[in-house]
Amino acid sequence: MSGVWTLAEFREDRINSVSYELLAWGRSLADTLKVELSSVILGCEIKDVESLFDHGSDIVYKVDDKRVEHFLPDTYSNIIFSLVKKYDPQIIIASATTYGRTIMPVLSTKLNTGLTADCTKLEIGDDGTLLQTRPAIGGNVMATIRTQTRLQMATVRPRSKKPISYDKSQRKIIVPEIEDELFKSAYRWIKFERDESTDLPIQEADVVISGGRGMRDEKNFEMLYALAKELNGVVGASRTAVDMGWIPYSHQVGLSGKTVSPHLYMAFGISGAIQHIAGMSSSDIVIAVNTDPDAPIFNVADFGIVGDATEILPELLKALGDKNE
C-alpha cells in the first residue's frame, strides 16, 4: 500500500501550479490516513522536482524520457497503470485540467475503478474512504460521492485549495524502470501552437474581469483587458459576447463554458442569466455593473453599480491610473 498519489503536470518546461494545489488536498488526505503522499510526474528533462516536496510530497515517481515529452493518452495511461499495479496506491487525484480530465477516465477504465469528476472538496470519511464532493448542474446541486472500489480516483477543480509549504518531506525520488513496450503510442504528436495572449486559463486566474452584451462591441473589450492588466487578472465573457465574436470561446464563463472560482469576479454589462451564474457563483468576491437595477447578477453580487459599463470603465481605469501615480 503506497498511500495517496497526485498526478503532477509538467508542460512547456515547467510544473503547472495546479500540481501544487493538488498536493495541498493530497496532504490533508494522507495526514488523515497516516500514509505517504506521492507525486507522479512524466515528461522530458523535468525541472524543479524539489518543489513538489516543498509543497507536500513525500515521494516523487519520475518518468523522464523523450518519448513522454508530450501528453500521449495511451503511453501515459499505460505507464501510470503499470506503476499503480506495482506500487498499489489507495487514492489517485489529478487536476480537472484538459490533462487530468483525459488521463483519469482512460486510466480508471483500465483499472476498473470509480472516478469522480471536478471535485471541490475531498475528505476522509469515518470508515477511511474518500468522500468526494462536487457540484453538478452548474452548482445547483452538490453531491458527495463515495467509491466502492479500494482504489479511489477523482479529479479536482483548479483553485479549490491553496498550495501549502511542507518541510517534513522524505524527499524520495523513485525512477521506475519502464518497459519499452509501454512507451509505444498510437498518437502522432505534431505540434503545439501557443495562443498569442500569455494569459492564464480563466479557471486558474485569481481575478476574472468579464464582459457581456452591455459592453456593446469588441472594441470596448479593450477596457476589460486594461482593467485585467491593472488587477493582474484575465478577461472572461458571457455567452452573448462569445456568440457575437467579441472574444474566443475559451473565455466563456457559464454552463456551456468554463466554471471559474477566482478571488475576485467582476461582471460588466452581464445581466446574469442563470447559466452564467452557474459558472461563477463560487467566486470569493463578486462585483457587478449593469444598467438594469433588476438584473439577476445583482442577486449574487457583493457590490454592484447600476450604470452603463462602458461609461463606468473609463472612469474606473482613470481612477486606478491616478492612484498609481
Partner 1 sequence: MKIGVLIKQVPATDKVRMDEKTGTMVRSEMEAELNPLDMYAVEEAVRIKERLKDVHITAITMGPQSASDAIRDAISIGCDDGYLLTDRRFAGADTWATAYTLSMAIKKVGGFDLILCGERATDGETGQVGPSVGSQMGIPVLTYVSEIVDLTDKHVRVKRAIEGGHEIVEVDLPALISVVKEINDPRIPNLSGKLKAKFAEIGSLDSVSIEADQSKIGLGGSPTKVVKVFYPKLTRSGEIVRSKDPQSSIKALLNFLKSKEII
Contact set for partner 1, span 243-262 (CB under 8 A): 248-250, 252, 255-257
**Is residue 118 within the footprint of partner 1 (CB under 8 A)?**
yes
Instruction: With beta carbons less than 8 A apart as the criterion, state whether 199 and 234 touch.
Output: yes
Angle between helices 73-87 and 100-111 (to 10 degrees): 50
Give the shortest CB-69-to-partner 1 separation in angstroms: 12
Q: Which is nearer to partner 1, 83 or 309 (CB)?
A: 309
In the set 143, 161, 164, 209, which binds partner 1 (CB under 8 A)? 143
Asked if residue 309 lies in contact with residue 289, where contact means CB atoms within 8 angstroms, the answer is: yes
Beta pairing partners, 11: 14
For 10, phi then psi, to 5°, come to -115, 115
Longest distance between any two alpha carbons in the chain, whole Å: 64
**Is residue 201 involved in binding partner 1 (CB under 8 A)?**
yes
**Rg of the chain in Å (alpha carbons):** 21
Q: How far is the CB of 323 from partner 1 (least distance, A)?
A: 7
Do 6 and 37 contact (CB within 8 A), yes or no? yes
Which CB sits closer to partner 1, 59 or 130? Answer: 130
Among 137, 184, 219, 292, binds partner 1 (CB under 8 A): 137
Which of 2, 97, 169, 238 contacts partner 1 by CB under 8 A? 97
**How many Å apart are CA 110 and CA 218, to the nearest integer?**
46
Does 147 contact partner 1 by CB under 8 A? yes
In the complex, what is the shortest distance from the CB of residue 171 to partner 1, in angstroms, rounded to a whole number?
29
Least gap, CB of 246 to partner 1 (angstroms): 15
121: exposed, middle or buried (C-beta count within 10 Å: 0-12, 13-18, 19+)? middle
Identify whether the C-beta of residue 131 lies closer than 8 Å to the C-beta of residue 148.
no
Quick count: other Cβ atoms within 10 Å of Cβ 116?
A: 24
Q: What strands, in cross-sheet order, belong to the sheet with 172-174?
A: 115-119, 152-156, 91-95, 4-7, 37-43, 59-64, 172-174
Nearer to partner 1 among residue 98 and residue 170 (C-beta): 98
Query: Binder to partner 1 among 50, 109, 168, 219 (CB under 8 A)?
Result: 109
Q: Which of 31, 35, 114, 216 binds partner 1 (CB under 8 A)?
A: 114
Nearer to partner 1, 59 or 79 (CB): 79
Q: In this chain, which of 123, 274, 292, 321 binds partner 1, going by CB under 8 A?
A: 274
Binding flags for partner 1, 30-59, as an x/- string (CB under 8 A)? ------------------------------
Residue from the set 126, 181, 191, 325 that interacts with partner 1 by CB under 8 A: 191
Considering only 187, 217, 218, 219, the residue that binds partner 1 (CB under 8 A) is 187
Q: Which of 162, 91, 88 is nearest to 131 (CA)?
A: 91
Q: What's the rounded Cα separation, in Å, for the pair 282 and 261?
A: 5
238 binds partner 1 (CB under 8 A): no
124 binds partner 1 (CB under 8 A): no
Closer residue to partner 1 (CB): 27 or 211: 211
Looking at 85, 128, 192, 325, which residue binds partner 1 (CB under 8 A)? 192
Cell of 108: 480508471
Question: What grid cell was written down for 295?
Answer: 438584473
Give the other-Cβ count within 10 Å of 301's Cβ: 20
